Amino acid sequence: MPLSVIQDLVDRFELEPVRRNAKVGLLDGESEEREILVLRGDFDTVKAAEKYMFEALDQRIARWERNERSDRYREMYDRNADERRRMVKERIAEKKEELSL
């Protein structure tokens, strides 16, 4: 779970984060003891937070699948590409002048 979602749950639903050790089942059928984070609150609040958590996670996954971030960076890169090309050409011209002196 992304840390920002956990923080949002704690803040929005006023849940109490508590660390504890618990046996966790592994994919190979075995289990091991690990420290887990539990968010405590009254039942109705915890159920509302659970619903919110899964909705937030679904939104994150949808963004990752759309690769929205890389699309934004590509747009920014394309917008700034002409300026960067101009700067590189200027630097090359300056270096050529320095070398010819």
pLDDT, tens only, 42-67:
999 999 999 999 999 888 888 777 76
Q: Which residues are within 8 A (CB) of 6 and not within 5 positions of it... i.e. 6 or more apart?
A: 17, 37, 39
| Model pLDDT, residue 68 | 63
Contact 1, 37 (CB under 8 A): no
pTM: 0.56
HEC per residue, 15-26: CEEEEEEEEEEC
Q: What's the pLDDT band for 72 if we cut at 50, 70, 90?
A: confident
Contact 75, 67 (CB under 8 A): no
Domain-by-domain residue ranges, the chain?
1-66, 69-101
